[in-house]
Amino acid sequence: MSLLCLHPIFAQDTNTVQVFTKALNQLVEIVNPPAEAAPRTFTTTLKILKADGLPTELVGREIALAFQSPDHVRIAAKWEGEDFVLGRNVQELWVYAPGKRFGVVGKPGVARFSNVPDSKDNSVLAPIKLPVDKDQLAIVPMLMKLVALPNESIGGSACRVIKATLMPEAIEAFKLPDATLQVWIRESDSLLTRVSYRQGKTDVEVELQKPQFVAAWPAEKWQLKAGAGEVVETVAQSHVSRFLEVSLAMLGQKIPTLGPPTGERRVLAREGDGRLEMIDGTRVLHLQLAVLQHRGARGAGTGHAGQPLAGQVGRGPVHVRQLHHRADAQRRGQQQHGGERQRQARADAQRAEPVRKTRDDLHGRGPSGGGGGLRGPAAGLHFL
């Protein structure tokens, strides 16, 4: 109560508080509609106008979004010249790349590993819900200083503009960041048309183009629709979930473009029948996975860096870290002043780690280390 007494809501302009509260309620109804309300779909196109403190590649990007509570989502965007579409259809997750003529659908009940048919994926996607409701949001204006700015027109619509700054008491009591939020609220329906967030070196501004509620989309519109002759693979739902998680974590990471071919090719280290080569300035790891033999659960590994691959390869188990350690030792013996290269190697390994995890998840590396998951045209997703 002491916090509220420090900043009672009646100390602010009543009309500004009402406009801000209506906008919050509309935002909540997109995700948490009233139980008695008829289903409807929310659509908009998000355009990133400013992204200070985030990857610069995000500026100018447009993301088409459709959402229908509680378990339907469709996101379409272009990245590095390629179109990508992501979707959730109740308990299915899918990814589609029209330019690649390829799609992946993750479904429950599908075996996680093709070489272990009984490894059914029984994971369940939770409904998409906000952890708060309208009544709980009523306290938000009490935690902020709301200032009405001059009205503006966004996308041809008259909008109220409100600047919201967290009160010092709220920052201290709830351990919140000292941030400033600015919102543009369409007067006709209280939907947000632009949002700006500033905190420290982060300054992000996103425009919501043509935000609207429409009649609920038919079921087929939430499904992956591939063209004639295009390949659609069906995998375990958990593989696609993991792929999306890692892909978002890698957003904005820079992986250097491979240099021109020079004809250089030399072996840096060997372990069993595995070897680590330097090809045109790039490290390439070769593993003969086709002859892996299961050693039982106790000796089985996942192929992760630093862990033995499950099974015997030729003359002995391949240990990925041993290969890298041997290569590093050889390089240190050849170059006394190789500090910079060592730092680069560590940076390369860090960048490769999420790619490796994504590869393992998509291909369904089973407990025996054998192949699984995607095959055929999906081989384009394999990484060395």
- Give the CATH number of the domain where residue 210 resides: 2.50.20.10
Full domain range(s) for residue 99: 2-237
How distant, in Å, are the alpha carbons of 79, 276, 295, 318 from that of 310?
36, 18, 7, 9
Over the range 23-57, which residues count as b (16 or more CB within 10 Å of their CB) and which as e? bbebbbbbebbeeeeeebbbbbebbbebbeeeeee
Angle at 4 between CA 196 and CA 204, to 5 degrees: 10
Q: Is the pLDDT of residue 15 over 80?
A: yes
Average pLDDT over residues 218-238: 91
Q: Is the pLDDT of residue 61 over 60?
A: yes
pTM over 0.75: no
Do 160 and 288 have their domain in common? Answer: no
136-179 pLDDT, tens digit each: 887 888 889 999 999 999 999 999 999 999 999 989 988 999 99
Q: HSE (CB half, 13 Å, CA atoms) of 157?
A: 21
Judge if 372 and 319 occupy the same domain: yes
What total number of domains does the chain contain? 2
Half-sphere exposure of residue 19: CA atoms within 13 angstroms, side-chain side: 23
Do 31 and 173 lie in a common domain? yes
pLDDT value, residue 282: 83
Residue with tokens 């490894």: 119
> pLDDT for 332-347, tens place per residue?
555 544 555 556 656 6
Q: Does residue 285 sit within a domain?
A: yes
Q: Which of 237, 256, 287 is the last residue of a domain?
A: 237
Instruction: State whether 161 and 233 are in the same domain.
Output: yes
278 and 229 assigned to the same domain = no
CB 147 within 8 A of CB 163: yes
If one counts every other C-beta atom within 10 angstroms of the C-beta of residue 326, the result is 16
DSSP lists the bridge partners of residue 187 as none
Residue 322 falls within a domain, yes or no? yes
Q: Choose between 241 and 377: higher pLDDT.
A: 241
Q: How confident is the model at residue 253 (pLDDT cuts 50, 70, 90)?
A: low
- Domain identity same for 83 and 208: yes
Q: What residue type is assigned to position 136 of the chain? A: Q
How does residue 185 score in pLDDT terms, banded at 50, 70 and 90? Answer: very high
Picking from 219, 237, 255, the residue at the C-terminal end of a domain is 237
Tokens of 207: 């425009």
pLDDT of residue 290: 42
Assess whether 214 and 270 both reside in one domain: no
Q: Above 70 in pLDDT, residue 181?
A: yes
pLDDT band at 279 (very low <50, low <70, confident <90, very high): confident
